[in-house]
Chains A and B, each alone.
Chain A
């Protein structure tokens, strides 16, 4: 199929502000948008800058706004976003500073991630037989959803609360916190909940559900945020 990619471009070394450029490409309907972007980069205009690595939706590199919604460019097929002769619009994620073309500054995103203590804390003695700590399949299942997160930032940069104030810790960091709060091997629940109870913590969430819709890993983000809110409100982690 023949389609047009309309891409928001910004080169910090030359441009005052972003502008749109259009590129005609010919692709198979079953190709990924990432393949189409590569066609532009490799054979039409090498100056186009984007991040990508795995090309199958696991590394979280290529989140962008595709036809107005956050998606991974490697996880959408052309046939699912455009008809023959049509146009696809591609822009960088919102809410983070654009460095060049489709590349944004992720440092604030990772700073929020680090702020929720994203690691298991447990200083108790290890099992004497030198083996694994035991955990029931049910206890393991309790925090399964959050373990799927690939830190792609699609949820956080789809969130209106984050757009209006980027000091908000954001859905991705709350999902990460949830993964540890509900892991029965962890012992730092109170500290983590305290972080999320602060002014720019979990209460900034207005339950808009953009995050859940944006997640390429089908994590029920809003539900997990709700569970953290409930833990804070009731003082119980269940």
Chain B
């Protein structure tokens, strides 16, 4: 039996973006939030370091400086009209969070306390600036909790542990979504005037990642399979400081407080590559430098990792703390309690006495579902939109992050564009009627799920997933070239063929995570294909996309966004065949592209 619901606005995803949108949309529209996880389990809760806003509580700062840093950080692939909105509205959005009750750290005069973060500077690159508003090193946790608390207060309707597997999209009009109630296995059709996808990242396509097991991009793949384009998918951020081999993130806040990178020769190597910003250069730059050090044999013991050193004696020797201050172990422990605990638990090191082995970890999808600054989803590289479809957060691409996101700029993106998207949905719902549902909107995805459940092929989802993650990590990560990317693309397509033969063990209905994990794998395979295909076509190096065969940025030919379409939209199953690519110009307003030095 399929159950039916009708809500004016359906928001898929209960992370920072989805909850912010819900709070704003629910002021006038009838809203439901659907999430495959309990809202407080969303990955926003793992964000550590902070949320950027030029509050100027610690020192002089201006939203124009924030905007400049965002554009430069994104290697000029950022749409500058959107970056301006981000930097301006960051301020009121952070204040709104405080008014909702968020427990920010405080300055002695009672204002929100801020810290330094990579790529955030004063006066257009002159020196690091304290712009990241924070709550110790659990800022994302506090944002997620506060937004959820306010949803409880505002009595927002939730469908927890419902898995959205398909969009109801016909004639360029989105009419709702199809979801499975995970606990019972029953299918539910949600008829809506407006749907928002706020489903986070999809870093699980890589072997070493900071992303949750749940970050598999299912609704993003569902949109793609229904003909919606995906923008700039070749840009995936590798964060320089993942715990060696596990990929668990150690926030840039560690370097904001004075931590430094050290190579196998005991050298603070970032001084060589980025004389001004040093260890606080932007993430793509630091990750590349680590790879280069390792390649030159200067990893620790010649191996594939380097150290992050936050010992007070090191910080004090290099005078690398803010303002060259002297720091103590006690102070670091209060500012970075969670990440110091993670170093102890997962790595077994005592970070006040030893340096910590780290390697770059797949962290953030700059690309995603293309939207305008109201969250409306673009139907193509031209001026068209998909009626009734919105997106926000990491699953969207506005694009404010361009080719490389700055630390603390995602959390602002969630609240600024979550809020804008929520309001835009509410306005849309006031003037739009419910578009009629097609007959049996659930049929396609039910057929795909039943195919997987009944399949007797010889492939295991776990094995296929491991093969995909390995090739994407080896061939489409920090450094790439045509040979590597083509090999990855071929491998991913082979895996897509083999996916047809995946057999699962659990044939039941209730809490069948075996089935859902297999479905998620299919989604990741589609997104990996798009990532590799977009990367292969872009014959330049920009931000996180670094081609050894095309080492220069090429503004004459490539100052443009990639739009990837499924060659043959496939409904609810894997999109087979070629990925079709088109391009859209970048919006440049205030800052002409320049060479990027830190």
Contact B213 A52 (CB under 8 A): yes
Cα distance A120–B100 when bound, in Å? 7
With a cutoff of 8 Å between Cβ atoms, the chain B residues found around residue A140 in the complex are 103-106
Contact B138 A75 (CB under 8 A): no
A135 within 8 A of B: yes
Residue of A nearest to B209 (CB): A55
With a cutoff of 8 Å between Cβ atoms, the chain A residues found around residue B183 in the complex are 99
With a cutoff of 8 Å between Cβ atoms, the chain A residues found around residue B105 in the complex are 137, 140
Contact A59 B212 (CB under 8 A): yes
Contact A46 B504 (CB under 8 A): yes
Smallest CB separation, B367 vs chain A (Å): 22
A151 within 8 A of B: yes
With a cutoff of 8 Å between Cβ atoms, the chain A residues found around residue B512 in the complex are 49
With a cutoff of 8 Å between Cβ atoms, the chain B residues found around residue A131 in the complex are 95, 111
Smallest CB separation, A43 vs chain B (Å): 6
Contact A56 B342 (CB under 8 A): yes
Cα distance A55–B111 when bound, in Å? 34
Contact A151 B108 (CB under 8 A): no
Contact B506 A46 (CB under 8 A): yes
With a cutoff of 8 Å between Cβ atoms, the chain A residues found around residue B338 in the complex are 58
Residue of B nearest to A151 (CB): B40
Contact A136 B110 (CB under 8 A): yes
B24 within 8 A of A: no
With a cutoff of 8 Å between Cβ atoms, the chain A residues found around residue B110 in the complex are 134-137
Contact A150 B92 (CB under 8 A): no
Cα distance A150–B145 when bound, in Å? 8
Interface hits, B456-511 → A, CB 8 Å: 460-463, 465, 504-506, 508-511
Cα distance A121–B509 when bound, in Å? 42
Residue of B nearest to A180 (CB): B101
A119 within 8 A of B: yes
With a cutoff of 8 Å between Cβ atoms, the chain B residues found around residue A192 in the complex are none
With a cutoff of 8 Å between Cβ atoms, the chain A residues found around residue B92 in the complex are 130
A67 within 8 A of B: no
Contact B345 A53 (CB under 8 A): no
Interface hits, A68-125 → B, CB 8 Å: 75, 77, 99-101, 103, 106, 110, 114, 117-122
A11 within 8 A of B: yes
Residue of B nearest to A47 (CB): B506
Smallest CB separation, B508 vs chain A (Å): 5
With a cutoff of 8 Å between Cβ atoms, the chain A residues found around residue B461 in the complex are 42, 46
A147 within 8 A of B: yes
Cα distance A136–B106 when bound, in Å? 6
B65 within 8 A of A: no
B141 within 8 A of A: yes
With a cutoff of 8 Å between Cβ atoms, the chain B residues found around residue A55 in the complex are 212-213, 248
With a cutoff of 8 Å between Cβ atoms, the chain A residues found around residue B460 in the complex are 42-43
Contact of A54 among B38, B46, B514 (CB under 8 A): B46
With a cutoff of 8 Å between Cβ atoms, the chain B residues found around residue A150 in the complex are 40, 45, 141
Residue of A nearest to B345 (CB): A75
With known contacts A54-B43, A134-B110, A140-B105, A45–B212 Cβ distance under 8 A: no
With a cutoff of 8 Å between Cβ atoms, the chain A residues found around residue B112 in the complex are 132
With a cutoff of 8 Å between Cβ atoms, the chain A residues found around residue B438 in the complex are none
Number of A interface residues, CB 8 Å?
Answer: 60
Cα distance A121–B150 when bound, in Å? 10
B300 within 8 A of A: no
A171 within 8 A of B: no
Smallest CB separation, A69 vs chain B (Å): 16
Cα distance A19–B592 when bound, in Å? 67
Cα distance A26–B141 when bound, in Å? 34
Contact A148 B138 (CB under 8 A): yes
Interface hits, B546-578 → A, CB 8 Å: none
Interface string of A170-187 (1 = CB under 8 A from B): 000000000010010110
A61 within 8 A of B: yes
Interface string of B77-119 (1 = CB under 8 A from A): 0000000000000001001001111011111111110000000
With a cutoff of 8 Å between Cβ atoms, the chain A residues found around residue B104 in the complex are 132, 140
A143 within 8 A of B: yes
B214 within 8 A of A: yes
Contact of B514 among A46, A57, A122, A147 (CB under 8 A): A46
Contact A119 B103 (CB under 8 A): no
Interface string of B127-145 (1 = CB under 8 A from A): 0000000010010011001
Cα distance A110–B145 when bound, in Å? 13
Cα distance A152–B105 when bound, in Å? 24
A18 within 8 A of B: no
With a cutoff of 8 Å between Cβ atoms, the chain B residues found around residue A133 in the complex are 98-99
Smallest CB separation, B425 vs chain A (Å): 23
Smallest CB separation, B82 vs chain A (Å): 23
Contact B150 A119 (CB under 8 A): yes
Interface string of B263-295 (1 = CB under 8 A from A): 000000000000000000000000000000000
Contact B511 A99 (CB under 8 A): yes
Cα distance A50–B169 when bound, in Å? 33
Contact B212 A103 (CB under 8 A): no
Cα distance A126–B101 when bound, in Å? 12
Residue of B nearest to A13 (CB): B508
With known contacts A43-B462, A119-B153, A132-B111, A106–B38 Cβ distance under 8 A: yes
Contact A53 B149 (CB under 8 A): no
With a cutoff of 8 Å between Cβ atoms, the chain B residues found around residue A119 in the complex are 101, 149-150, 152-153
Contact A59 B101 (CB under 8 A): no
Contact A12 B510 (CB under 8 A): yes
Contact B103 A183 (CB under 8 A): yes
Contact of A59 among B46, B342, B506 (CB under 8 A): B46
With known contacts A42-B461, A120-B101, A11–B508 Cβ distance under 8 A: yes
With known contacts A54-B46, A131-B95, A132-B111, A47–B514 Cβ distance under 8 A: yes
With known contacts A49-B513, A133-B99, A60–B41 Cβ distance under 8 A: yes
A–B Cβ pairs within 8 angstroms, 21 of them: A41-B462, A42-B463, A49-B512, A53-B41, A53-B43, A55-B248, A56-B248, A59-B40, A59-B42, A61-B37, A99-B510, A119-B101, A120-B149, A121-B153, A126-B99, A130-B92, A137-B106, A137-B110, A140-B104, A140-B105, A180-B101
A residues adjacent to B (C-beta < 8 A): 11-14, 30, 32, 41-43, 45-47, 49-50, 52-61, 75, 77, 99-101, 103, 106, 110, 114, 117-122, 126, 130-137, 139-140, 143-144, 147-148, 150-151, 180, 183, 185-186
